[in-house]
Amino acid sequence: MFTGLIEDLGTLQEIRTGTDQAQLTVATGLPMSELTLGESIAVNGVCLTVTSFGGGAFCADVSPETLNCTSLGRLSRGDRVNLERALRLSDRLGGHLVTGHVDGLGRIVEHRKHGNAWLFKFQIDAAVNSFLVAKGSVTIDGISLTVNEVFEDCFSLTIIPHTLTMTTLQDRKIGDEVNIETDLIGKYVARFLQDGAADKPQGVTMDILAKHGFL
């Protein structure tokens, strides 16, 4: 589990790709003395397992499923990536609960200066769009952000200067793909409503809440 607050901008040192797999080597300023084998690190919002580390870098394997569902397979040597280590129970939850399991890819269709910040607009599939709400949380390449507006096939958000400087969003341009993870709580609520839709079309009822342990 992660928070969506980026700890470091790493650099892809090497990517080895096979027929249906890949291994990433990422150079990072994260303290090597604090890393452990098998721990989770979110790389551009994708939860990966550390398989080796040392000399200011760590390695992680990427499965075929992850290559198919995320933008990691499109990375090139020298690309910068957002990094976050897993959340500890004693940490402050400054962002929101992030699993590192990507729901889909989005494409930047607009970014422009907006006051002292930048406005970004992302085009997404309807399946992902259905989980977004205005002023709700969304994760873009591992970054916890707040949705401004939701449209039929896209959504917008505002990036403050600090976030732009500390993340790979400063490198992004129109047409680039990003990893998107929608809010975990919203997905559970949607599933509960779906389970009760056939016999309870009116939506949330006291019976549905009781059935799923909310009462």
Model-wide pTM > 0.75: yes
**Given this model, what pLDDT does residue 204 score?**
60
pLDDT for 93 equals 85
Contact 22, 181 (CB under 8 A): no
Is residue 199 classed as helix, strand or coil in its secondary structure?
A: coil
Helix (H) or strand (E) holding 185: helix 184-195
Instruction: Output the CA–CA distances (angstroms, integers) from residue 3 to 9, 28, 93, 102, 183, in the order listed.
Output: 16, 19, 6, 14, 11
Report the pLDDT value the prediction gives residue 205, as an integer from 0 to 100. 66
Cα 41 to chain centroid distance, Å, stands at 12
CATH value of 104-184 in 2.40.30.20, 1.50.10.10, 1.20.140.10, 3.40.920.10: 2.40.30.20
Nearest CA-CA partner of 179 in 23, 59, 69? 69
Residue 149 structure tokens? 């507006």
Which letter does DSSP use for residue 74 in this model? Answer: G
Beta strands 46-54 and 40-43: pairing type? Answer: antiparallel
Amino acid symbol at 20: D
CA–CA gap between residue 51 and residue 156 (Å, rounded):
36
Of 1.10.10.10, 3.40.630.30, 1.10.1660.10, 2.40.30.20, the CATH number of 8-85 is: 2.40.30.20
Give CA–CA dist 67/76, Å, rounded.
14
Domain ranges of the chain: 8-85, 104-184, 185-215
Per-residue pLDDT of the chain (215 residues; tens, 9 = 90+): 999 999 999 999 999 987 778 899 999 999 999 999 999 999 999 999 999 999 999 999 999 889 889 999 899 999 999 999 999 888 888 889 999 999 999 999 999 998 999 999 999 999 899 899 999 999 999 999 999 999 999 999 999 999 999 999 999 999 999 999 999 888 888 887 776 655 554 556 677 677 777 76
Is-same-fold flag (8-85; 104-184)? yes
